[in-house]
């Protein structure tokens, strides 16, 4: 149990930057949904779908590769860091320049009208700066400098949040002459009201640059070593991870690129395709409560799994981690899904956004299975069979595209959510079955499956029974949540001493 506590403590520290930082960023959603119509927010949603997708291309699996080769016997971590950083510097420069040249075609795919090419240029620069910071951050994780990692991540996020609040909240108020007249000269000098949602990207760009500056010691602490022969083993290990990551981003973000293309005209009466993308993107952010836990867990778990791989009882440890991770995610799924009305009113200020809340439970469950998949994927990373991850992710990508093609014209953004759920569930099951053959781990699959079925049935019951009175409806949902938590406590508590 001590190793699980160690992982939990590291997850908590990484969670400071991940959860607190994401919560701060997420608190911007009410301001976005108040300041921008859904069509304008659709621009943000669409371009950030590209950011998620292209982040994988810019780092191409080098973080996991760095962990793997740094933990090999006799590894020279100093030289490895130099080579990986040198490789990323060269590739980042080329990719950023290419992406800046492709600004207009990128916007055309999202059906964004001309005149906003600078948004795409800023996105390219954000991707480049974040790629250069990836391996220095990985080095901090490898050296167990979780507190420094968290502080630097949080610092960049605070800069982003502060700039968003300044440009999107404060500047319009001052410029309108309704408050703080002393700040009008400053606002007049730096604020352009016609830029609108562009300030979301500009704030991110400044924050990414600030983060890289905060990492200055790690970024500059390398010698340029760019010889192909020593890099070949790294690239051979990394490219399946990159393909797997690209497939993962297809599964996670491609729906926001495909939605405006495959949504029939006037599917949602009186709304454009960009409006639908904006609604879906805003509601997608409500699944953050699940993704926060998964992201914090991944930061701590990846180096932890590699370090534990040589221990004799590592399979039992991995099974125990899977159990408690899944149960924590199930609690989030039930708690958020059954109380979604309150979350919607709190974060989605315009009523047009709240019509998409139906996708949130589907996306929460989908992301739960994604977290399970990340746990299960340890087997092909530890056995150097990363090509299996490519096969599974590639199959998921094909399934995602096919399901979106079939479901978007019929169900709109609900079809996008269902495609995501089916994809992640299928990937988790395939990874589990293949792992049983190549790296057996005694996962409590039947027990966890029953909890997932029970949680899904409870959420369906909560949504299926309509209660008109506000107080009665909230009491009903709170009662179901409490009943589930009580059942979980009663069933799992007697096993605590044994696990």
- Residues of the chain with pLDDT below 70 are 1-25, 74-75, 110-111, 227-230, 296, 299-312, 494-499
> What are the tens digits of pLDDT across the range 407-442?
999 999 899 999 999 999 999 999 998 888 888 888
- Rounded to the nearest 5 percent, the helix, strand and coil shares of the chain are 85, 0, 15
Q: Distance between CA atoms of 291 and 294, rounded to whole angstroms?
A: 5
Backbone angles phi, psi at 311, to 5 degrees: -75, 145
Strand, helix or coil for residue 394: helix
Q: Can you give the pLDDT at residue 56?
A: 84
Q: Can you give the pLDDT at residue 300?
A: 64
Reading the block at residue 198, the tokens are: 């562009």
Cβ burial of 339 (10 Å; 0-12, 13-18, 19+) is: middle
Q: Distance between CA atoms of 174 and 184, rounded to whole angstroms?
A: 6
Q: Can you give the pLDDT at residue 365?
A: 93
Q: Distance between CA atoms of 447 and 491, rounded to whole angstroms?
A: 11
The whole model's pTM is what?
0.69
Q: Distance between CA atoms of 293 and 18, rounded to whole angstroms?
A: 8
Q: Can you give the pLDDT at residue 496?
A: 45
Q: What angle do CA 240, 246, 251 make, to 5 degrees?
A: 125
> What are the tens digits of pLDDT across the range 128-156?
999 999 889 888 877 778 788 888 888 88
Backbone angles phi, psi at 216, to 5 degrees: -50, -40
Q: Distance between CA atoms of 219 and 198, rounded to whole angstroms?
A: 29
Residues 6+ apart with CB under 8 A from 30: 346, 347, 348, 349
Query: From its phi and psi, is residue 320 left (phi > 0), alpha (psi between -120 and 50) or beta?
Result: alpha
């Amino acid at each position: 149990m001590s190793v699980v506590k160690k992982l939990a403590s590291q997850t908590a520290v990484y969670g400071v930057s991940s959860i607190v930082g994401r919560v701060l960023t997420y608190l911007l959603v009410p301001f976005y949904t108040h300041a921008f119509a859904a069509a304008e927010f659709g621009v943000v949603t669409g371009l950030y779908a590209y950011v998620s997708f292209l982040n994988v291309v810019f780092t191409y699996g080098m973080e996991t590769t760095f962990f793997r080769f740094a933990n090999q016997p006799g590894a020279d971590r100093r030289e490895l860091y130099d080579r990986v950083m040198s490789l990323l510097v060269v590739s980042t420069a080329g990719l950023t320049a290419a992406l800046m040249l492709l600004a207009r075609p990128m916007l055309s795919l999202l059906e964004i009208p001309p005149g906003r090419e600078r948004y795409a240029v800023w996105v390219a620069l954000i991707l480049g700066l974040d790629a250069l910071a990836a391996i220095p951050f990985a080095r901090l994780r490898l050296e167990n400098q979780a507190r420094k990692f968290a502080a630097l991540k949080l610092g960049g996020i605070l800069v982003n949040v502060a700039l968003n609040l300044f440009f999107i909240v404060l500047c319009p108020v001052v410029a309108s002459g309704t408050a703080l007249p002393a700040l009008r000269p400053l606002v007049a000098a730096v604020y352009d009201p016609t830029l609108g949602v562009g300030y979301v990207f500009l704030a991110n760009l400044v924050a990414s640059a600030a983060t890289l500056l905060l990492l200055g010691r790690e970024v500059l602490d390398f010698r340029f070593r760019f010889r192909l022969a020593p890099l070949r083993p790294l690239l051979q290990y990394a490219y399946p991870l990159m393909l797997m990551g690209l497939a993962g981003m297809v599964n996670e973000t491609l729906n926001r690129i495909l939605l405006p293309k495959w949504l029939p005209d006037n599917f949602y009466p009186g709304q454009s395709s960009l409006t639908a993308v904006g609604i879906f993107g805003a509601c997608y952010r409500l699944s953050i409560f699940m993704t926060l836990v998964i992201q914090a867990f991944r930061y701590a778990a990846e180096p932890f799994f590699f370090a534990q791989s040589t221990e004799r009882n590592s399979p039992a440890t991995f099974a125990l981690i899977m159990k408690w991770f899944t149960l924590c995610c199930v609690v989030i799924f039930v708690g958020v899904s059954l109380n979604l009305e309150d979350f919607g009113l709190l974060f989605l200020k315009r009523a047009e956004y709240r019509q998409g809340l139906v996708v949130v439970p589907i996306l929460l469950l989908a992301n739960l299975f994604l977290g399970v998949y990340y746990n299960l994927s340890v087997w092909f990373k530890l056995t150097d069979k990363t090509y299996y991850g490519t096969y599974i992710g590639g199959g998921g990508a094909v399934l995602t595209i096919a399901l979106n093609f079939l479901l978007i014209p019929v169900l709109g953004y609900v079809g996008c959510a269902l495609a995501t759920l089916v994809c992640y569930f299928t990937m988790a099951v395939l990874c589990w079955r293949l792992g049983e053959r190549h790296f057996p781990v005694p996962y409590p699959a039947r027990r966890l499956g029953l909890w997932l079925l029970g949680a899904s049935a409870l959420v369906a019951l909560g949504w299926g029974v309509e209660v008109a009175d506000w107080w009665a409806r909230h009491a009903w949902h709170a009662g179901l949540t409490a009943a589930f938590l009580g059942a979980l406590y009663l069933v799992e508590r007697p096993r605590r001493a044994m696990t």
